[in-house]
Structure 1
């Protein structure tokens, strides 16, 4: 009898070793929570009294061979517009598929080893399932892999460009209409580097499936978001989730029961915030969302919370939220890569514009100073003016008329006493005398023409005589002497 009991205990022992055989999911159609038992091959549904009740059995053929870890955790994704659930065991990427129409249960892969994809991000791209990043073998990774239906194994995707060092406990999303991946604020670590220290990389990256290349888009520089992400503990980051449209996370410093939710649109990098001032969601904690949790369930934008301390005056034991709808009431607070004002492009542009303007002003003043020649003094400038009385009188008279626009031709003729001569004779004598004066003053002033002829300001057809501005200072000094 004792031997039979021992044999029975030995046979039952493997069943007692299953630490976790349940997979939880939220049905997007009826908005109810379900639990899949991968060992018993059955589905249970959570009733209004928060009890799991039998819902349906699952059919599996002889090839079904679950290989569940004692500490196994599961991630579940449902392809849009289908009734097929794809269940991934964390750290192994084993794939179990449940068809909710035929209630068939199958294991899709033939993986026989433990992988490096704990907490990786999985998504559908067309009919193929992809996985990126994760942790395993004492380091994080940035590997992009896909499940090959023919070989029933995971295969790697080769790529180019500047990729993140690791993709782990960060933000990752696939944008199907652009056929790109967007990821930012990831951790990376390697046991061989800095004693395995976790490092946060707040860079923003994009991977294009068309070019098979990575590109760095910038940094998370929005002052408020950057501070929150740096303060977020490593453990808290496992509760971040993606609705398919927004990344959603809470401020770690909620006070007085007022929740503050942040929404980030990876398509546009827009950031929104929502303050639950009316305390509608005070009994919800996004940080309770876990793959093994039996009180919080999510699927896409929907989050269902089972109330632990129900209000005796209310028959409602659940709270259901569509976070995409909640985001419509959120306030836009900027872009993920916004910079402080003193680091923005417009500020640098203003500085550049100011420098260019100062340079132009300096260049203009330099040209003006070069154009305005300083009087060239010589030893002969110490001598007296050697001019005839009529020439000296003319020079003084022109200087006196300098401020009034110069001296008219008629006045010059009168001072030279040639006003009674014929017109051609006047012009000849006047020109000869002025040329003689200019030649005499060349050594004194350093200018070829001390007396210059200009157009009249009143009538440009008329001419007037003025003193070259470069000669005024020396002439005033000599005439004064």
Structure 2
């Protein structure tokens, strides 16, 4: 008979025997840890000796049908200013609600299948419960879903824009005053891609509930913090929590020595670092807490840890911390979007200033040369016009006829007294005398040829002698003196 009863119990109540059935929470009123037994329908409270002590029975109705996975884990949300506890079973999003005033226990959903909600981020938007991201069916997802109270099912929210590839063990926060989500440093994975390797996306995204649009607003470029997030492993991210104002986590180096905590404000993207130099919180180990037997309990900014090795000189067995208050003593170390020094605006500005300095230096080196040329030109212009009477008469005649096209060859020959010579002799003597005049005028005008020979406008076969336009005004002034 005993064996028969035992077998009957094994068949009738297998989930009660094999499945985890405990949901833990830190009450936001008395800041004490509680444990809800969803199978036995009772609440226990942790006493000063770290023992779970019966606190109150829970009542249910005939519709209460729990369905627990063998490795069930539960996430608990307690909305501010209420006595209602929302309990979500990971990977299925089954939802249970406990009223701490009437001590009623209800299952709110009609979910009957395993979902893709493992490690999803859940939050209240008004009175509606939302869930985003998670893992299931061998891949991560970026689905934004909400619980429909009428159908008692989870429904999808349609959206557009550039959403993260996956939202799994990342930083996700809902900002009620802006009615938007902010998310960054998310993992994604899919067994059909790259053998299911976890890929870390260091982009920053936001989602507007008003426009139902995703937008990529930047990259995590802070040179030190980006590396910290890369070393903040997938396993450690189980212990990341959001206070409602800051993301809080401890780096992988928090194993020995002085503990550090990092705070990230998703509204401003500011990063703060807290060093526990006085070792006040050295006995807190976020990574030591296990989901099925937790030693750390969180609710909003409050964190309570059960001290494993309490101080013999103190009767305290727990430590309660408000991490929003702790962040006030943290040091600002930059923004998520801070660039390395060699990519910053001030570095580019410094390069620009150096280029300007070099340009000014070069210009100063060139300026004296130009000044020297100007001085030499002035000196040349001060030289007196000292040429023989025949050359002077030729120069005046050309100047007088400059506007009429200059002097013809016959007129030049007449002025130079060459008209009675043979043709070849005329050409030779004429050329020699004009070259001599040009050499003399070079000291005055700076031009190699002050008298030039051009084709006639009326008959291009004829040549006429004119004054170089570059020194025309100078020669007119000198000749008129």
What's the TM-score once normalised by structure 1's chain length?
Answer: 0.76
Distance 2:268 2:474 in 1: 73
Spell out the pairing of 1:369-384 with structure 2 (5 A cutoff): none
Give distance in 2, aligned partners of 1:452 and 1:210. Answer: 83
Q: Is the Cα–Cα contact under 8 Å of residues 221 and 337 in structure 1 kept in the other structure?
A: yes
- Residues 243-282 of structure 1 mapped to structure 2, 5 A cutoff: 243-254=243-254, 256-282=256-282
Preserved contact between residue 258 and residue 276 of structure 1 (Cα < 8 Å): yes
Q: Deviations over 1:262-303 (max 9, x none)?
A: 100000000000100000001001223454333111111111
- The aligned counterpart of 2:472 is 449
Secondary structure (helix, strand or coil) at the match of 2:342 reads helix
Tell me which residue corresponds to 2:108.
108
Counterpart-to-counterpart distance in 2, 1:41 and 1:198: 39
Task: State the distance in 2 between where 1:7 and 1:187 align.
Answer: 45
Task: State the distance in 1 between where 2:354 and 2:95 align.
Answer: 62
- Compared CA separation, residues 387 and 299, structure 1 to 2 (3 A): farther
Shift of 1:59: 1.1
Alignment of 1:351-430 (within 5 A): 351=351, 388=389
1:238 correspondence with 2:238: yes
Asked if 1 retains the 8 angstrom alpha-carbon contact of 2:249 and 2:263, the reply is yes
Q: Which residue of 2 aligns with 1:310?
A: 310
Aligned counterparts of 1:21 and 1:295: Cα–Cα separation in 2: 17
Cα 1:216–1:362 change in 2 (3 A) is: farther
Aligned-residue offset at 1:175: 0.5
* Paired positions, count: 401
1:9-28 matches, cutoff 5 A? 9-11=9-11, 13-14=13-14, 16-28=16-28
Q: What stretches of structure 1 move > 2 A for 4+ residues in a row?
A: 1-13, 15-19, 254-257, 288-294, 345-365, 384-392, 440-446
In structure 2, the partner of 1:160 is 160
Question: CA shift at 1:445, angstroms?
Answer: 5.3
Specify whether residues 466 and 10 from structure 1 end up closer, same or farther in structure 2 by C-alpha distance, changes over 3 A only. farther
Report the Cα offset of residue 237 of structure 1: 1.1
- 1:92-241 matches, cutoff 5 A: 92-241=92-241
Structure 1 range deviating more: 58-67 or 346-355 = 346-355
- Secondary structure at the aligned position of 1:227 is classed as helix
Measure how far apart 1:391 and its partner are. Answer: 5.8
Change (3 A) 1:16 1:441: closer
> What SS class does the counterpart of residue 207 from structure 1 fall into?
strand
Q: Secondary structure at the residue paired with 2:470?
A: coil
Secondary structure at 2:195's aligned position in 1? Answer: helix
Aligned to 2:287: 287
Deviations 1:432-477 (A, max 9, x none): xxxxx99x93437552525179xxxxxxxxxxx689xxxxxxxxxx
Distance 2:215 2:47 in 1: 48
